Amino acid sequence: MRQIPPDHAFSPPERQAVYRAIHERRDMRHFSGGTVADDLLQRLLSAAHHAPSVGFMQPWRFIRIRSRPLREGVHALVEQERVLTAQALGEREDEFMKLKVQGVLDAAELLVVALPPGREAHVFGRRTLPEMDLASAACAIQNLWLAARAEGLGMGWVSIFCPVKLGALLNLPEGSKPIAILCLGPVHAFYDQPMLQAENWARRAALADMVFEDGWGQPAAAPGPASDF
């Protein structure tokens, strides 16, 4: 007698909640101050810590910035790199300088994510792709992002900084590397679309342009219509 495989899917409302968090997550730059309760922050960090990682290396370290002078130092590093980034953009320099690219001074919480020293000891899954430590840490950040959205909090990933200068500011050990400044906290409203799309900086590409079949550039067979969630 043929056995029916078990249905491991979540219930329809649970599935909708997962897809809603994915589709409504935004890279937030505008924050409304306030606070994040300690138990809520712990839940978010636990969600991040349950991310997958290559070879189970768990290459994420979170530094909570509570000192106001230290936060201002982080902000100064971001502003320094913002100017240099604008200059590197050439003809889009003025356009870039009009964008709000961070909420370091405004967000309720500021976290820095760093890769720890000693990562070269982890060979499993990294012998030919050593950058999988960064990919694994990015999974933890995405977990935190989605959990924050589900909890009604905004989060923004700031990558405009010099890793060497930020590492020195935070006294990171040799061999470690900061990869993200995370602004986290209450917001007045979530953007109805990605902010850079709303500001006409870029547009979301069509999914069909990103999916190939059996080789690069080979169009994939068109799937059926997708539901909203």
Tens digit of each residue's pLDDT, the chain (229 residues): 677 788 999 999 999 999 999 999 999 999 999 999 999 999 999 999 999 999 999 999 999 999 999 999 999 999 999 999 999 999 999 999 999 999 999 999 999 999 999 999 999 999 999 999 999 999 999 999 999 999 999 999 999 999 999 999 999 999 999 999 999 999 999 999 999 999 999 999 999 999 999 999 999 987 766 666 6
pLDDT at residue 224, rounded to an integer: 67
DSSP character at residue 176: -
Nearest to 162 by CA among 103, 74, 222: 74
pLDDT at residue 229, rounded to an integer: 60
Nearest to 119 by CA among 46, 32, 200, 53: 53
Neighbours of 92 (CB within 10 A): 11
DSSP character at residue 205: P
**In terms of DSSP bridges, do strands 61-65 and 154-158 run parallel, antiparallel, or are they unpaired?**
unpaired
Residue owning tokens 């936060």: 71
pLDDT at residue 2, rounded to an integer: 74
Residue 79 contacts residue 100 (beta carbons within 8 Å): no
pLDDT at residue 6, rounded to an integer: 84
Pairwise CA distance, residues 94 & 92, whole Å: 6
Q: Which amino acid makes up residue 148?
A: A
Pairwise CA distance, residues 216 & 152, whole Å: 39
Pairwise CA distance, residues 115 & 226, whole Å: 37
CA dihedral angle for residue 134, residue 184, residue 228, residue 211, rounded to 10 degrees? -20
pLDDT at residue 42, rounded to an integer: 98
Pairwise CA distance, residues 194 & 28, whole Å: 9
pLDDT at residue 131, rounded to an integer: 98
